[in-house]
Amino acid sequence: MSTVTAENRSAGGPAREGTARERLLRAADELFYAEGINTVGIDRVIEHAGVAKATLYSAFGSKDELIRAYLMRRHERRVARIERHRARHEEPRARMLAVFDALHELITGPDWHGCPFLSATGEARTDTTVKEVASITWDYTLACFVEDATALGVADPAELAERLVVVYEGAVVATQVKNDRAAAQRARSIAEMVIDAAV
């Protein structure tokens, strides 16, 4: 059974409101996140959105492109959340740690039940669409760390950024596998040590 998350509500309401494309994307977002991209078929999505099958193919072309749009929307929300936390700070070290604060906010929220990118990657196996979007979101996090590590003046910003991404993603996996809602805070503490050792 699907749930309407806070992010879905902020995006414009229930799945049957808005344009046909928006209804389809919102329905896919709810169903794919709650049940998985392979479990949910096209018929479920169009029924939930209240549109004809032809509308889905007109708007997205294929289920793969609908999945891409779903994951890109999740990516955009992730970027917005991280940038909101980073914008609270001017000092580069604090901005790097703010990425972990954004993760903590997400995984302690009532709508969290796993990372959509990690879940989709596990389901897709060899699907290039999913891997492409997962790579985009990984690269974005890396770029945040590189930018602030450079501003901090460390000797090797790229190396520090790579280490921080691994710490970040480790926290994501911990919440996925163990439902560890404190993982982001522990990861933040590790990140502090990693940053300070690099300075």
Name the pLDDT band for 28 (thresholds 50, 70, 90): very high
Residue 143: per-residue pLDDT: 98
Residue 128: per-residue pLDDT: 87
* Distance (Å, whole) CA 151 – CA 14: 43
- Put simply, whether the predicted model's pTM sits higher than 0.85 gets the answer yes
- 6-61 matches 74-198 in fold: no
Mean pLDDT of 159-187: 96
Residue 126: per-residue pLDDT: 62
66, 20 contact by CB (below 8 A):
no
Residue 12: per-residue pLDDT: 41
* Distance (Å, whole) CA 176 – CA 194: 23
> Which DSSP string corresponds to 103-137?
HHHHHTSTT--S-HHHHHHHHHTT-HHHHHHHHHH
Q: Does residue 99 carry a pLDDT above 80?
A: yes
C-alpha pair distances (Å), 10 with each of 6, 21, 22, 109, 179: 6, 17, 13, 14, 25
At which residue do the structure tokens 């690099």 appear? 198
CATH 1.10.1530.10 for domain 6-61: no
4, 14 contact by CB (below 8 A):
yes
CA atoms in the 13 A half-sphere facing the CB of 69: 19
Q: Does residue 7 carry a pLDDT above 60?
A: no
Residue 177: per-residue pLDDT: 92
Residue 9: per-residue pLDDT: 39
* Distance (Å, whole) CA 28 – CA 68: 11
In the chain, beta strands by DSSP E: none
32, 116 contact by CB (below 8 A):
yes
Local structure of residue 125 (DSSP, 8 states): T
* Distance (Å, whole) CA 97 – CA 60: 37
Q: Where are the domains of the chain?
A: 6-61, 74-198
At which residue do the structure tokens 């990861």 appear? 187
CATH fold, domain 74-198, is Tetracycline Repressor; domain 2 (1.10.357)
Residue 11: per-residue pLDDT: 39
Residue 8: per-residue pLDDT: 40
55, 22 contact by CB (below 8 A):
no
Residue 18: per-residue pLDDT: 83
Residue 42: per-residue pLDDT: 95
Residues near 156 by beta carbon (within 8 Å), at least 6 away in sequence: 198
Both structure tokens of 106: 């997400």
Name the pLDDT band for 10 (thresholds 50, 70, 90): very low
**Model pLDDT for residues 82-93, shown as the tens digit of each residue:** 999 999 999 999
Mean pLDDT is lowest, of 10-14, 17-21, 130-134, 183-187, for 10-14
